[in-house]
Structure 1
Amino acid sequence: MRILIERSNLLKSLSHVQRVVERRNTIPILSNVLLKTEDGGMRLKATDLDIEITETVPAMSEQPGATTVPAHLLYDIVRKLPDGSEVMLQTDGNGGQMTVTSGRSNFRLQCLPEADFPDITAGTFTHAFKLKTGDLARLIERTQFAISTEETRYYLNGIFFHTLESGGALQLRSVATDGHRLARAETDAPAGSEGMPGIIVPRKAVSEIQKLLGEGAEMVEVELSDSKIRFTIGPVVMTSKLIDGTFPDYQRVIPTGNDKALTLDRQSFAHAVDRVSTISSERGRAVKLAVSASQLVLTVNSPDAGTATEELAVGYDSDELEIGFNAKYLLDITGQLSGESAVFMMADPGSPTLIKDGGDERTLYVLMPMRV
């Protein structure tokens, strides 16, 4: 193969595909990116056997062909070439090496044959729909922080997406939980998503799609089956395996009878939690909330460091209550809220608390208390 391509186009595409390539691989071909000439361009593909990203970029093909070269090495080379330069990619007669030439720079890279490169995209997709990138980004951003990192509970290592009737209309909902906190967000379900299966998109795929959504495209095309999901954003196509497991019945842990409503200023509360938790040990990080009429007192006790307290004016007219939470979890949730105020719906010191966003009625959070 022999192909001429703008450095900026090649770099942008490589930055997308090389992210899924693991730095350490026991299978050599998985360290490589597949380069293949196409009409008016070149297709790049990389995979870790769970996620596959492909992208086609404009290029001048002087001799058709395909090969695979080390993904991170090629990315680093192209990244260090001068802006505005053109890059010539050329394989030798037997395809064992590829020459990368730009100006006076010349590199020879070892190749592996195209035939060895795996393909995970086989199969048919049963559902297809289009979403605004902003809507999908919001569903991910509001819930991603609550994804579990505990590998033994693999079915919690992603975001659960499903559709359901809510308020007389079909909604697309995203949910994540690690057993200590739960995050839920929803948006109007797009045409074509009716009857879609409930799916769990794994953490790495969520992270990659979030990066791609931030690059300015207006719409994202989603195709899915029981085992795979495919996102198409402009020229980039990402296919991922889904987590093969059953997401728990999360509705059962969302409290419905909590009647003690605490309304507070989100930013003031977050800053106060951050300040008092400075004194706590990393292991515990428990902050006690003592609520009485129109007042909240935050307290942290550390056997080694001492005590910290801070008072806040709040809206509250129920019985006095003392309840403890993990400070990091409180900060994670308040960091997701978009409104100026937050509402904590509480029952007692041992029951889960429901947290609502004053600026977004379509999200909610559940947080388990800690003993303090």
Structure 2
Amino acid sequence: MKITIERAKLMKSLAHVQSVVERRTTIPILSNVKLDAMGGRLSLNATDMDLDIVETVDCEVITEGATTAPAHMLYDIVRKLPDGSQVELDNGANEELLTLRAGRSKFTLACLPTMDFPLMSGGELDHNFALPAGELKGIIDRTRFAISTEETRYYLNGIYVHAGENNGVPVLRSVATDGHRLASVEVPMPEGAADMPGVIVPRKTVAELRKLIDETNDDVSVSLSETKVRFAFGEVVLTSKLIDGTFPDYERVIPTGNDKMMELECKPFAAAVDRVSAISTEKSRAIKLSIGPGALVLSASSPDAGSATEEVEVSYDADEIEIGFNSKYLLDIAQQVEGETAQFMLSDGGSPTIVRDAADSSALYVLMPMRV
């Protein structure tokens, strides 16, 4: 294989694929990126056996062929080359070495055989549909903060995507929860998704996908089976294994009897929560909401630091309630509200609270209370 490629093009593609590669792995080939040059295009492929990315980029192919090279090292070298330089990659007669030339710089990297590189991106996936990139970004941004990081509850370590209904209208719903808060977002059912199985997309896949779709306005083609999902857009194909587990019946934790509604301006509220919580202890981050007609008093105290209170104007005309929350979880949810007004549906001080964006009924958040 021998190619010439602009540094900027190569660096952009390497930045995407190398982030999938684990820094520490016991299988040497998984530290490498597979480079495949054919017909004026260079294909870059990296995998960690659970997640696989292929990106294709234009280049000048002098000799067709394939090799594998250390992903992080290759990216570091290309990143440090001067802007505008032309990069030549050549593994010539010696397939165990890859030579990189740019201007007066020359690097020789050890290669591993392409036959050892695992193939994960092939295979047919039965269910296919498309989502606009903006819609997919919205789904990820409004749910991923609630993904659990607790490895023992591995079935909560991702976003549960499934076909659902809202007042008889079919929707594609995405749900994440860590047991303390829950986020549920729905979009109109895309054509081809109605009979898809419910799948749990892993946290790492969600993070990589979110980074990649930042750079596209194309529709994202989604293909899935019960064990794998593939996202394709632009020159990128991201394939991932799904979490093999059963997502809990989340609808049971969404309260139905919350009859007390509080409306407030979300940005001033979030700023007040942030200020008052500065004094709460790092471990519990507890903040108390004392809600009465027309006013909400936020308070926090710490045996070492002292106490803080702040009053926020609200629209509320039901019985007085005192309820405590983890301030970080409360802030995470407040930051998802894009409209000016947030609605809190409450029952009492010991029951879960529903939070909604008054301007957007497609998202629903549930927050568990805590003792304060």
Residue ranges of structure 1 left out of the alignment (5+ in a row) = none
* 1:145-156 superposed matches below 5 A: 145-156=145-156
Aligned partners of 1:44 and 1:205: how far apart in 2? 18
Helix, strand or coil at the partner of 1:323: strand
Is 1:243 the equivalent of 2:263?
Answer: no
Determine the C-alpha separation between the residues in 2 that align with 1:274 and 1:59. Answer: 50
Say yes or no: does 1:343 pair with 2:343.
yes
The residue correspondences of 1:40-51 to structure 2 (distance < 5 A) are 40-51=40-51
Q: How far is the alpha carbon of 1:177 from its aligned partner?
A: 0.1
**Which aligned segments of 4 or more residues in structure 1 are displaced greater than 4 angstroms?**
none
Please give the residue correspondences for 1:26-175 in structure 2 after superposition, counting only pairs within 5 Å. 26-175=26-175
Measured after TM superposition, the shift of residue 88 of structure 1 is 0.6
Alpha-carbon distance, 1:268 to partner = 1.0
Q: Which runs of 5+ in 2 are unaligned?
A: none
Q: What is the number of residues matched between the two proteins?
A: 372
Contact 1:68 1:111 in 2 (8 A): yes
Normalising to structure 1: TM-score of the pair?
0.98
Instruction: Letter of the 2:12 partner, please give it.
Output: K
Q: Letter of the aligned partner of 2:143 in structure 1? A: T
Q: Deviations over 1:198-241 (max 9, x none)?
A: 00000000000001111023210100000000000100000000
Amino acid at match of 2:148: S
Q: Tell me what 2:179 maps to.
A: 179
SS at match of 1:336: coil
Q: Which amino acid aligns with 1:133?
A: A
Structure 2 match to 1:317:
317
Query: In the alignment, which residue of structure 2 is the partner of 1:213?
Result: 213
Name the counterpart of 1:263. Answer: 263
Partner of 2:13: 13
Shift of 1:122: 4.0
- Give the Cα–Cα distance (whole angstroms) in 1 for the partners of residues 92 and 37 of structure 2: 15
The 10-residue stretch of structure 1 (162-171 or 123-132) with the greater mean CA deviation from structure 2: 162-171
Q: Is contact 1:287-1:327 (8 Å) kept?
A: yes
> What's the offset of the Cα at 1:166?
2.0
Amino acid aligned to 1:325: F
Name 2:24's counterpart in structure 1.
Answer: 24
Contact 2:286 2:370 in 1 (8 A): yes
Paired with 1:24 and 1:51, the residues of 2 have a C-alpha distance of 15
Distance in 1 between the 2:155 and 2:165 partners?
24
What TM-score does the superposition give when structure 2 sets the normalisation length? 0.98
- Amino acid aligned to 2:56: T
Measured in 1, the distance between the counterparts of 2:261 and 2:151 equals 36
Is the partner of 1:342 in helix, strand or coil? strand
Q: CA deviation at 1:186?
A: 0.6
> Counterpart of 2:197?
197
Structure 1 residue 5: Cα displacement: 1.1
Shifted more, 71-80 versus 162-171: the winner is 162-171
* Maintained 8 Å contact 2:134/2:217: no
Stretch of structure 1 that moved more, 90-99 or 106-115: 90-99
Residue identity in the other structure for 2:235: P
CA contact (8 A) 1:157 1:203 kept: yes
> How far apart are residue 123 of structure 1 and its match?
3.2
CA distance in 2: counterparts of 1:233 and 1:209, whole angstroms: 11
CA distances 1:172-197 after superposition (whole Å, capped 9, x unpaired): 11100000000010111111112000
Partner of 2:277: 277
Q: Is contact 1:355–1:366 with CA below 8 Å preserved after alignment? A: yes
Separation in 2, partners of 1:4, 1:278: 54
Asked if structure 2 preserves the Cα contact closer than 8 Å seen for 1:212 and 1:233, the reply is: no
RMSD between superposed Cα atoms in Å: 0.9
Task: Give how far 1:320 is off.
Answer: 0.6
In the aligned structure 1, how far is the partner of 2:358 from the partner of 2:166?
20
* CA deviation vs aligned residue, 1:87-137 (integer Å, no higher than 9, x gap): 110013130101000111110001101011111224320101111001111
- Specify the alignment match of 2:299 in structure 1: 299
Shift of 1:79: 1.0
Separation (CA, whole Å) in 2 of partners of 1:201 and 1:228: 9
Residue range with higher mean Cα deviation, 173-182 or 77-86:
77-86
For the residue of structure 1 that corresponds to 2:343, the secondary structure is strand
Looking at structure 1, the residues matched to 234 and 307 of structure 2 have their Cα atoms a distance apart, in angstroms, of 54
Name the aligned partner's letter for residue 45 of structure 2.
Answer: K
* Contact 1:217/1:233 (<8 A) preserved: no
What secondary structure does 1:142 align onto?
A: helix
**Residue 360 of structure 1 aligns with which residue?**
360
Indicate if the aligned counterparts of 2:81 and 2:102 stay in contact, CA closer than 8 A: yes
Q: Partners in 1 of 2:301 and 2:135 — Cα distance?
A: 41
* 2:88 partner SS: strand
**Equivalent position SS for 1:154:** helix
Q: Partner letter of residue 116 of structure 2?
A: D
Q: Equivalents in 2 of 1:323, 1:233: separation in Å?
A: 45
What is the letter of the counterpart of residue 248 of structure 1?
Answer: P
Among the aligned pairs, what percent are the same residue?
Answer: 60
* Cα deviation digits, residues 298-334 of structure 1 (max 9, x gap): 1101111111111111111000110000000000000
Asked if the contact 2:298/2:309 (under 8 Å) is kept, the reply is yes
Question: Offset of 1:359 from its aligned partner?
Answer: 2.3
